């Protein structure tokens, strides 16, 4: 059920965490690709997986 008055503070907080994980995944992956560092690419991939799972699991 959705609330007519909008998102709660907890919903906004989870959304902010998800966006932060996605942006950091992009930045870390780009740094890994630029420096040919496989560890950074792997960390970026796991950050992206965590962001997607957080969005999928937590549905307001």
Domain assignments of the chain as residue spans, ordered by start:
9-55
pLDDT digits (tens, 9 = 90+) for 5-55: 777 888 889 889 999 999 999 999 999 999 999 999 999 999 999 999 998
Say yes or no to pLDDT of 60 above 70.
no
pLDDT of residue 8: 85
DSSP state of 4: T
Residue 2 pLDDT > 70: no
The Cα angle at residue 6 between residues 1 and 21, in degrees rounded to 5: 90
Residues found in the chain: 60
Enter the pTM of the model: 0.81
3-state secondary structure of 32: helix
What's the pLDDT score for residue 46? 96
């Amino acid at each position: 059920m959705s609330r007519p008055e909008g998102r709660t503070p907890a919903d906004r907080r989870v959304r902010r965490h998800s966006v932060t994980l996605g942006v950091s995944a992009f930045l870390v992956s780009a740094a890994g690709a630029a420096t040919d560092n496989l560890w950074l690419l792997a960390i970026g991939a796991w950050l992206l997986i965590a962001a997607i799972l957080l969005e999928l699991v937590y549905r307001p």
